[in-house]
Amino acid sequence: MAEMDSKVEAGGALSALRERAGQYLTFELDAEVYGLEILKVQEIIGMMAVTRVPRTPAFVRGVINLRGKVIPVIDLRLKFAMAPREDTTRTCIIVVQVSGAGHDITMGIIVDQVSEVLDIVADQMEPAPSFGQGVDTEFIFGMGKVGDKVIMLLDVDKVLSGGELALFKNMEQDE
């Protein structure tokens, strides 16, 4: 009976995943390709001056002034425990709307480069593999298989923890 329950549960997870089929903005960190639901993306901007904020986690690059609104910016390489890298002409900031901790936050995520917008259909999606209890991959809700590429599909609302989102809510302000 337990085997039957796990198959039903897995089928439900796959069904929920496939409901998220649609357009994804893809970007690169190192040689890996990631995707964000296009509806979460507000805009893509080139690198600009980032003001460092003291006593914030290392992955927090700081804040930027985007048309009069101060928004927090994170370095996704550092958040994902990758080696830091100097910004290049391809490095950019993806401005996203994140929901969590009872409110929405506009924030920027720094990526190595933006690739393209892809339509990922339901049969190209699979649940994210499990890596065991010691590895937190909750922010990866699935894998997209497009051609010979595997794209890690991110749930941008889960990239930051509740405490980190609360920190950003305090950093975000209108001028």
Mean pLDDT along residues 13-22: 75
SS3 for 101?
Answer: coil
Domain ranges for the chain: 2-174
Closest Cα partner for 165 from 57, 66, 44?
Answer: 57
CA distance 45 to 100: 24
The structure's pTM equals 0.84
Higher-pLDDT residue of 172 and 53 is 53
Q: What would the two tokens of residue 29 be? A: 């960190």
Architecture of domain 2-174: Beta Barrel (2.40)
**Per-residue pLDDT reduced to its tens digit, 87-105:** 999 999 999 999 876 778 8
Higher-pLDDT residue of 93 and 135 is 93
pLDDT band at 114 (very low <50, low <70, confident <90, very high): very high
> What was the pLDDT predicted at 20?
83
Closest Cα partner for 171 from 44, 71, 25, 33?
Answer: 71
